[in-house]
Amino acid sequence: MQKFPFEAEALKVWFQKEGRALPWRKDPTPYAVWVSEIMLQQTQVAVVVDYFLRWMARFPTIEVLAASAAQDVIKMWEGLGFYSRARNLHAAAQHIALHHNGVLPSTHAELSAIKGIGSYTAGAIRSFAFKQKAAAVDGNVLRVLARYFAIEEDIRLGSTRKKIWEIAEGILPEQEPWLVTEGLIELGATVCSRNPKCWSCPIRSGCAAFCKKRQEELPKIGKKVEITPLFRNVFVVLHQREVLLRKAEEGKVMAGLYEFPYADKKQKGFPFLFDAKKLQTLPEVTHSFTRYRVKLYPTVWMAADRVQLPEGEYIWTPLSQIPSLPFSSGHKRILKHLEALLYARLAH
């Protein structure tokens, strides 16, 4: 493995002094590291902390997670988005319980064979939990090393990421390499961010971008994926003490989550034939998922009767069961508005 000049000791000292006190760092068991890293994918640390604590209280071990119902797992993830992460965690826990006696393996090959664990997560588990000499390159590390070594290539390219992975492996010292791996992530998150705070950087003296005054230019980032706007009418249909819901099919982005019936705003009327009277318009809601930004226009309706619907997509659900069901983030906000409306109607 090629070695690269790097101020590893300075970074280690800085991280031990300045690293944030995060709950998964207090007791970095393989399970805790795994859960935290999956939660941190495309989600800010400030949001993850409370979710992590609730998750570990509800599913303290891999065995408990593996034995839990899928709906309970999705419910605990409600609001974090990218729900395939929760589904993969659950499936992986069942795999680990069956094939590894409920214990996460420690080798790259075994970890990478587990659903939802890629190269980065495998490296993080090996480094932080098992104290192995392993790199873990996320967006923060890509940015730090692209600046430190003045890498000119687009960091979205696979070839550039491969190059930076090799550098990340080549700067790890023999002594306490995990401090450098986590220190790089921390540095990118808190100091070497998109707007770098170079005056606070412990390794700026060796940073090529800083020395050449190019820290604002690097890293080079190609064109981002375009966001597609969606506009949907949402129909909250009530009948006595029940509400009509739809559950996303397996294989869909929102699989396992509940939503109210909806249709593209260009369409007129319900997405199905129904006799109902409009009660009220609820506040508009905006939410995002994958590459979509969705604006929801919810209205509340009272059904004339409990029409039987085709099995599968739509289901009548008692209002009393709603709190236990996992909803997509946008429809969860609609639900809060609905609860406020129902409470106000009961109060009068």
Q: In whole angstroms, give the CA distance from residue 295 to residue 3.
A: 51
37 is catalytic: yes
User: How many whole angstroms separate alpha carbon 149 and alpha carbon 141?
Assistant: 12
What whole-number distance in Å separates Cα of residue 95 and Cα of residue 66? 8
Where does residue 142 rank: exposed (0-12), middle (13-18), buried (19+ CB within 10 A)?
Answer: buried
Tell me whether residue 255 is exposed, middle or buried, using C-beta atoms within 10 angstroms of its C-beta: 0 to 12, 13 to 18, 19 or more.
Answer: middle
Out of 37, 169, 186, 259, pick the active-site residue: 37
In one-letter notation, the amino acid at residue 92 is A
User: Which residues lie closer than 8 Å to 168 by C-beta, 6 or more apart?
Assistant: 135, 136, 137, 141, 145, 181, 184
| Assigned token pair, 140 | 């923060």
C-alpha dihedral sign at 174, 14, 179, 196: negative
Active site (catalytic) residues: 37
